[in-house]
Structure formats: structure tokens, C-alpha cells
């Protein structure tokens, strides 16, 4: 149940997200360093009084989600292709989540427009009692119109306090097995992904984003205990990355890798379209409060 204070925090977080999209919406240009883009967005979130809800995802081409630049990443955006920028803002654990796609040389306009229109149409049907699968039906209809495919194994999600994925998925196709309905006093991220490929993603071996799986300190080395205590204090159950720890902890990358291998951390593997085809994404957060629908990230 959302309190009035929770709702005000969500509105404030949404305002920060909107401002960043306005101010930094064109920061993704050919030749721009990927790490600089992520850190500029994260810094601006903090400057405006929020906190990043997760490391900024910058996904290029057929990469669909879950890549954030590492400390050693000096890669730059290519001259051509799609770049998905996905970021979240939280205020005291109340989270909004938003994403947009940049077409670096106007080659993939159809994919960008398909994701945007699918999101617009999906948002227009949101109200208490509507089945979440109705969003998937709309997304699938728009994909057919543009002769592309939605990513079937990526979905939107219900959000709760300090919980980015709160157990209910908003499908991107007409999934008759999705049982949930939109509820009052609830938060949802709706995010269509479109591709010209197979419409499925698979997990890479690369992991650059983590979340705490266990707060237990038994069995940890002293250096690891310090890191875990910091994670609990700063991020709680929200995702984080090596970049956020590297200035404070020596060998942060090695420590995270060790904690991940020993299952103290959950990893979010990079997700890539299985046929290697380009992927577009559009995302906004909807808050249903007092029976009214608020698209807080617009």
C-alpha cells in the first residue's frame, strides 16, 4: 500500500528522471565514451537529490540489457547502430525506471518507432483491473504493424520499495499464462523491446551488475566483510557495480568476483538477442495511486 509520502517520493524521482532525459538525452553520440555517459547520468541523479536505483545500462546493437561499463571500459559508441540507455532513480527506496533508444545514424528508425509506439499504446490502457497480458497483446500488435518482433523473454515488472522486480511481470507478447492484473496503489515499469531477429535473448558470460544475495558475514574475509557492510548500508537489495566501489575499496573487482562465485551476490548476466540482430527499447514507470494513473517518468 502506497502512502501519500511514498507517492510524493515517486513523483520527485520521476521528475528527476524526466529532467535527465531532457538534459542528457543527446549525450549518446558516435565516439562518446560509454563510461562517461553512465557516470554523467548517475552524477546528475545525485546532484538532483535522488540516488541511482541501479547502474546505468548502456546496451549497444544486439545487446538488450544488463551491461554497465566497468572501471577499465574505454569503449566508445560506434558510428552506426542502436544504443539503449536504461536508468532508475530512487528516493528512500521508492523507485522509478525509464529507458530510451538512440539511433546513431538513423538506420534503425523503424525499430525505434516500434518500441515508442508500443509503449505509448500500452500506457494508454493501464488502469486498475486490466490484465497485465493486455499490455503484451498491444505490444505484439504494434510489432506486427512494423513487421518486427517483440523480445518474448524480456518483460516489464511491478516495483516495490527497494525492490526493482517485485514478482509480477508485464509481458511483451500475448501471454495467456500471465495471471496478474494492474492494482491500485502499485508501481509498474512497462518496457517493450523490439528486434528484427528471433525475438529472444540469451545470457552472456559477462556480468557487470550485482545485487546482494545474502547479508550473512560468516565465512567472509575481513576485506569482504567491509565491502558487504558497505553494500548493505548504501544499496540494500538494489543492484550495484564495480565502478561504485572502486574508489573506496582496493581490488573491488576481485572481491566482487569472489563474492559472486561463492554465491554471496546475485549477478545479472548481459542479455543479447540470440540471432545477433539489433534491439530497441522504450520504458516508463506508471504509478496507480488513489485509482488514478500517473506516468511519472514523462
Evaluate if residue 214 carries a pLDDT over 80: no
* 157 in active site: yes
What is the distance between the terminal CA atoms of the chain, rounded to a whole angstrom? 23
Evaluate if residue 296 carries a pLDDT over 90: yes
* pLDDT tens-place string over residues 112-158: 999 999 999 999 999 999 999 999 999 999 999 999 999 999 999 99
* 86 in active site: yes
Evaluate if residue 216 carries a pLDDT over 80: no
Give the 3-state secondary structure of residue 268: strand
Question: What CATH architecture does domain 208-270 belong to?
Answer: Orthogonal Bundle (1.10)
Which one of 157, 224, 242, 273 is the catalytic residue?
157
Classify residue 64 by burial, with Cβ atoms within 10 Å: 0-12, 13-18, 19+.
buried
pTM for this predicted structure = 0.96
Q: How confident is the model at residue 291 (pLDDT cuts 50, 70, 90)?
A: very high
Looking at residue 99, its pLDDT comes to 98
* pLDDT tens-place string over residues 149-194: 999 999 999 999 999 999 999 999 999 999 999 999 999 999 999 9
- Between CA 170 and CA 155 the distance in angstroms is 5
* 97 in active site: yes
Looking at residue 268, its pLDDT comes to 97
- Between CA 298 and CA 295 the distance in angstroms is 6
Looking at residue 280, its pLDDT comes to 98
> What average pLDDT does range 234-261 have in this prediction?
95
* 294 in active site: no
- Between CA 257 and CA 280 the distance in angstroms is 30
Which one of 191, 224, 242, 273 is the catalytic residue?
191
Give the 3-state secondary structure of residue 133: helix
Which one of 97, 103, 224, 284 is the catalytic residue?
97
Evaluate if residue 215 carries a pLDDT over 80: no
Q: How confident is the model at residue 219 (pLDDT cuts 50, 70, 90)?
A: confident
- Between CA 41 and CA 257 the distance in angstroms is 25
- Between CA 198 and CA 276 the distance in angstroms is 9
Neighbouring-strand partners of residue 82: 103
* pLDDT tens-place string over residues 18-60: 999 999 988 999 999 999 999 999 999 999 999 999 999 999 9
Q: How confident is the model at residue 218 (pLDDT cuts 50, 70, 90)?
A: confident
Among 77, 94, 96, CA closest to 34: 77
Evaluate if residue 271 carries a pLDDT over 90: yes
Which residues are CB-contacts of 14 (< 8 A; sequence separation ≥ 6)? 89, 96, 285, 287, 294, 296, 297, 298
Looking at residue 221, its pLDDT comes to 86
Q: How confident is the model at residue 1 (pLDDT cuts 50, 70, 90)?
A: confident
Indicate the fold that domain 4-203+274-295 takes in CATH: Creatine Amidinohydrolase (3.90.230)
Q: What average pLDDT does the structure give for the chain?
A: 96
**Kind of pairing, strands 265-273 and 63-65?**
antiparallel
> What average pLDDT does range 271-297 have in this prediction?
98
Return the domain boundaries, the chain: 4-203+274-295, 208-270
Which one of 42, 117, 242, 283 is the catalytic residue?
283
* pLDDT tens-place string over residues 64-114: 999 999 999 999 999 999 999 999 999 999 999 999 999 999 999 999 999
Angle at 100 between CA 96 and CA 102, to 5 degrees: 155
Which one of 6, 86, 103, 273 is the catalytic residue?
86
Among 287, 236, 241, CA closest to 93: 236
Amino acid at each position: 500500500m502506497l502512502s501519500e509520502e511514498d507517492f510524493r517520493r515517486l513523483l520527485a524521482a520521476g521528475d528527476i528522471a524526466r529532467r535527465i532525459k531532457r538534459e542528457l538525452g543527446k549525450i549518446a553520440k558516435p565516439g562518446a565514451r560509454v563510461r562517461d555517459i553512465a557516470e554523467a547520468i548517475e552524477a546528475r541523479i545525485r546532484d538532483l537529490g535522488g540516488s541511482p536505483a541501479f547502474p546505468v545500462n548502456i546496451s549497444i546493437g544486439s545487446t538488450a540489457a544488463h551491461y554497465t561499463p566497468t572501471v577499465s571500459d574505454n569503449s566508445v559508441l560506434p558510428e552506426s547502430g542502436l544504443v539503449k540507455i536504461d536508468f532508475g532513480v530512487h528516493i528512500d527506496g521508492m523507485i522509478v525506471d525509464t529507458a530510451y533508444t538512440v539511433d546513431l545514424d538513423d538506420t534503425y528508425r523503424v525499430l525505434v518507432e516500434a518500441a515508442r509506439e508500443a509503449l505509448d499504446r500500452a500506457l494508454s490502457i493501464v488502469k486498475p483491473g486490466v490484465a497485465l497480458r493486455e499490455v503484451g497483446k498491444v505490444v505484439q500488435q504494434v510489432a506486427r504493424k512494423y513487421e518486427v518482433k517483440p523480445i518474448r523473454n524480456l518483460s516489464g515488472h511491478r516495483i516495490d520499495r527497494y525492490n526493482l522486480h517485485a514478482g509480477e511481470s508485464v509481458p511483451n507478447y500475448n501471454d495467456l499464462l500471465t495471471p496478474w492484473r494492474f492494482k491500485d496503489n502499485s508501481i509498474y515499469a512497462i518496457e517493450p523491446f523490439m528486434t528484427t531477429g528471433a525475438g529472444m535473448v540469451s545470457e552472456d558470460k559477462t556480468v557487470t551488475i550485482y545485487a546482494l544475495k545474502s547479508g550473512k558475514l560468516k565465512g567472509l574475509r575481513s576485506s569482504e566483510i567491509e565491502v558487504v557492510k558497505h553494500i548493505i548500508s548504501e544499496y540494500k537489495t538494489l543492484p550495484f557495480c564495480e565502478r561504485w566501489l572502486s574508489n573506496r575499496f582496493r581490488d573491488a573487482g576481485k572481491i566482487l568476483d569472489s563474492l559472486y562465485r561463492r554465491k554471496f551476490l546475485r549477478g545479472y548476466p548481459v542479455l543479447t538477442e540470440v540471432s545477433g540482430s539489433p534491439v530497441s527499447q522504450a520504458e516508463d514507470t506508471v504509478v496507480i495511486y488513489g485509482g488514478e494513473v500517473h506516468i511519472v517518468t514523462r
